[in-house]
Amino acid sequence: MLALLIYVLFSGTIVFTFKYFGLLRIPTFQALAVNYLTCTVVGWLMSGSPSLALLQTGGAWLVAAVVLGALFIATFYLVALTTQRVSVSAAAVATKMSLVLPVAFNLVVLRQAQRPYTALNYVGIALAVVAIILTVWKPAPATAGSRGAQVARTDTWVLPVLAFLASGSGDTLLNYASSRLLPTPEHQALFPILLFGTAAVVGLVVLAGRLLANVETIQWRSIPAGVVLGILNFFSVYFLIRALGAFGNDGAFVYPLANIGTILLGALGGYVLFRERLGRTGQLGLLTALVALLLLSYQEVLAAAGA
């Protein structure tokens, strides 16, 4: 349980860091590239410089690490844009309610569960999708011909939905790799390093292309910002993997409990740090998200209450 709590702390802090990047006008993609380079170095040091001999054997675990690396940097960029252009709460809910994807995959494909799933659990999955829609809904200003219709602006929908899909896909693949593709401690030590290394390579290549095309110029303050983000990012993934392992890789159990805390922390931090206020629809979305998460994990809540 301690690993879950630490994951929540790091995960929530990452969202706040992206918000500060926007406020301080730190180039987000430059910081992301440095972030994954930092993750690779920290992972290498934390793992005690593991042997690279396993790379010669190849296999599905190596493919999963490479795919996850590319997916991770894309997800991080989408979360950063959502935080800066929509809100902290929208980013937190869109990414954390993406748990419906790994939960569904865990139940249907992996079939790894610490308890049977009931109709209430499946209602929770459906409510999770509703919560995302409500949280990112922003009515357009009324005009003479609109009759005050509540129409969601397209730009506030696209980013949270893409963040939802990318984050859910990444968590699903990570859950699968953790349960099926990492049979030895050596695999488990090398996997996150390769994941972060791939993300770093992708980030640096894309950044080099943007610099050569004069799309942007290097801003040196993005380096310390990326180092801070990299440390937070590494330990968030590290403790997520530890939490999954501690609970038998039951993603349907781990993700809901972790995300309850992250959504609450995101909403509280958004209000305290940035004075972000949710409208009535957003508040309803946040409440729906909490109800969904409780329905997904109510067995554990009742068991804890009766312990």
Kindly report which listed range (40-54, 159-173, 240-254) carries the lowest average pLDDT score.
240-254
Q: What totals of helices (H) and strands (E) does the chain contain, helices first? A: 11, 0
The closest alpha carbon to 236, from 27, 5, 63, 47, belongs to 5
3-state SS assignment for residue 277: coil
Average pLDDT over residues 212-217: 87
pLDDT at 225: 94
Residues 59-115 have pLDDT tens digits of 898 999 999 999 988 998 888 888 878 877 777 777 767 877 887 787 778 776 666
Q: Which pair of tokens denotes residue 280?
A: 């009535």
Residue 305 pLDDT grade (very low, low, confident, very high; cuts 50, 70, 90): low
Which segment, 19-33, 119-133, 185-199, 222-236, is predicted with the most confidence on average?
A: 222-236
CB 191 within 8 A of CB 199: no
Average pLDDT over residues 270-274: 82
Alpha-carbon torsion 96, 169, 102, 1, what sign? negative
Which segment, 102-116, 185-199, 218-232, is predicted with the most confidence on average?
A: 218-232
pLDDT at 151: 42
Mean pLDDT, the chain, as a whole number? 81
Alpha-carbon torsion 260, 293, 114, 254, what sign? negative
Q: Which pair of tokens denotes residue 134?
A: 């409500």
pLDDT at 158: 85
Q: Does 58 or 71 have the greater pLDDT score?
A: 71
Q: What is the pTM of this model?
A: 0.74
3-state SS assignment for residue 196: helix
Residues 114-166 have pLDDT tens digits of 667 788 878 887 887 787 677 666 555 544 454 444 444 555 778 888 988 99
CB neighbour list of residue 102: distance below 8 Å, 6 or more residues apart: 168, 171, 172, 174, 175, 251, 252, 255
